[in-house]
Amino acid sequence: MKIKFKIIISIIICIIVLLIGVGLGSIYVPASHILNIISNKLFNIPLAQDIPNVSVSIMWNLRLPRTILAFLVGGALAVSGTVMQSVLKNPLASSYTLGVSSGASLGAAFVIVTGFNIPFLGMFTLPAVGLFFGLLTVFSAVKFASQMDKNLENNTIILVGMVFSLFVNAILTLLTSMSKEHLTQLTFWQMGSFALKDWSNVIVLFPIVIIGVIVIRNYSKELDIMTFGEEQAFTIGVDVQKVKWLLLGLSAALTGSAISFVGVVGFIDLIAPHVVRKVFGSSHKIVIPMSMIFGGAFMVICDLVARTIVSPSELPVGTITALVGAPFFAYVYFSKRKEL
């Protein structure tokens, strides 16, 4: 099957998943109504007379921004995982390995426990602080690794990242145990949720994700070359150290931005790159945008399951991704061991 045909099929499936994510719920909204409502809101096209106002309100104000946010978060995590696995040449690598989730969780816990608020950011204080702590943890880990190993070997980065992640998690556990009145809120945030998200979250995250993915895709050639080894890349003319720092930073920023809005959601960045490479091959020019599409669609499905499986209650979306991702993690790990 040709790559172009696979891409077209994937985009069609993604659109169908988005329509299902918006349409299903306590009140079913048909695809034709969804398209008509979107056309009305964007282009002022008259609504069909058989579309009730409650469907318009639910679809436009609740489900559509939530679904788009889920797609953006899933896409950002998937692209981040793709880059991390390629740069570090480890099929189990991700931004979480370098402590993004731990740092962001600590930042979020600090805001939740202390009530810290930045006046000009308001409701975006928690995402902003979470992102800052996440990036601070990653860059501290990479900087420390560069001091320990001038060549910035991949194994050194991974090991130092894991140490930093464990250390930050210990601080987070201590903070949580000392703030039992906030235990439920802290626990729910660390498991991820798209509940109560609106257009303001989408408007902020959308440009971050799109710009990040475009910039990373511009380094597709360098990523392709680096997968054959850093020495070969250096001899060809790639500034390995500079490119590695840049790509690690961009990947961490994508992950930090995504989880700072919705909480920690794991395994998307592990699953998506493997599936996409299996279907589309190893060229990063194709793998990066298709990881965005697959990761986004997969996250929409997980969020749909999380909000409907025990309706009217709602599960944290992180539990759904973990139920799928943990067995997948085991499969990847043991399959690689068999190859050795």
* pLDDT digit string, tens, across residues 42-95: 888 888 888 888 889 999 999 999 999 999 999 999 999 999 888 888 777 777
Higher-confidence position of 6 and 149: 6
Q: What integer pLDDT is reported at residue 336 of this predicted model? A: 60
CB 216 within 8 Å of CB 79: yes
- Record the tokens describing residue 86, joined without a space: 């390629």
Measured CA to CA in angstroms, residue 315 lies from 148, 177, 208, 243, 307 at distances of 42, 23, 27, 39, 6
Task: Say whether pLDDT at 184 is over 80.
Answer: no
Angle between helices 284-308 and 64-88 (to 10 degrees): 140
| H or E stretch at 17 | helix 3-23
Q: Which of 315, 317, 313 is nearest to 69 (CA)?
A: 317
Q: Which range marks the domain in which residue 246 is found?
A: 3-339
CATH number at residue 330: 1.10.3470.10
Tokens describing residue 142: 């990479």
| Residue 101 CA: distances (Å) to CA of 37, 161, 241 | 37, 11, 24
pLDDT in the model for residue 65: 95
Q: Which helix (H) or strand (E) holds 107?
A: helix 100-114
Residue type at position 286: I
pLDDT band at residue 332 using 50, 70 and 90 as cut-offs: low
Helices (H), 178-316: 183-191, 199-217, 220-226, 230-236, 240-262, 268-280, 284-308
Number of domains comprising the chain: 1
Confidence of residue 169 (pLDDT cuts 50, 70, 90): confident
